[in-house]
Amino acid sequence: EIVLTQSPGTLSLSPGERATLSCRASQTVTNNYLAWYQQKSGQAPRLLISGASKRATGIPDRFSGSGSGTDFTLTISSLEPEDSAVYYCQQYGSSPPITFGQGTRLQIK
Amino acid sequence: QVQLVESGGGLVKPGGSLRLSCEVSGLSVSDYYMSWIRQAPGKGLEWIAYMSSSGNTKYYGDSVKGRITISRDNAKNSLHLQMSSLRPEDTAMYYCVSRSGWYSAFENWGQGALVTVSS
């Protein structure tokens, strides 16, 4: 089973700043099958990025994903107040089981 | 527009059973890989069950194996999760989720059904 470790646990930034969220895998993620999800309070998760770097339909271009192998990054280039959420990474290249990271909470000051 | 709508959640006693349903529109459950993912209060996401598009392959998470069964009704375009021998640690929001292929991310999510296991 691939274990995903996200850092930091919590990030507090101001509007307009750049956010960098990390996801590290315990072993190589096959074909970079790594996704990022956003979950706002009281809502279901929403797919942001798949295949490590491909934005899902309707996702603003301030969200970008990068990385390969075992180290992946979600970058939000210029934070908006509505970006306040918990962000999860997930691997789907080596399953079952499909595994998620524990999440990074992003707070907008 | 794809919609997944869960139902059947509620309060159940330890050792009890519950059946969750997911009514799907905008895609055919027989063409997609369907899963159930749960989230305990204040916790992260846990994948617990999966069914292939053919229906021939099913996987279950270790924490629920032997206690849950995933199924679908192609005629009603719905997905189901039968849960038994429920424990307090099964208390969670249960999401119905679809993906278009084995190597695809979870593209569509329902709003969730809350299951509370308590005496």
Check if the beta carbon of residue B82 is closer than 8 Å to that of residue B68: yes
Single-letter code of the amino acid located at A92: Y
Single-letter code of the amino acid located at A103: G
Backbone φ and ψ of B26, nearest 5°: 90, -10
The pair of three-digit structure tokens given for residue A46, joined into one six-digit string:
């929403």
pLDDT of the residue at A95: 76
Question: pLDDT digit string (tens) for B100-116?
Answer: 988 999 999 999 999 99
- Please state whether beta strands A46-50 and A54-55 pair in parallel, antiparallel, or not at all (unpaired): antiparallel
Question: Which chain A residues are within 8 Å of B27, Cβ to Cβ?
Answer: none
Question: Which chain A residues are within 8 Å of B105, Cβ to Cβ?
Answer: 33, 35, 47, 50-51, 56, 90, 92
Give the CA distances from residue B66 to residues B9, B85, B113, in Å, rounded to whole numbers and listed in that order: 20, 9, 21
Chain-chain contact of B103 with A33 (C-beta, under 8 angstroms)? yes
Residue that the structure tokens 């994948």 belong to? B47
Question: pLDDT digit string (tens) for A64-97?
Answer: 999 999 999 999 999 999 999 999 999 998 877 8
* Cis geometry, peptide bond prior to residue A8 (ω within 30 degrees of 0): yes
The pair of three-digit structure tokens given for residue A11, joined into one six-digit string:
């990030």
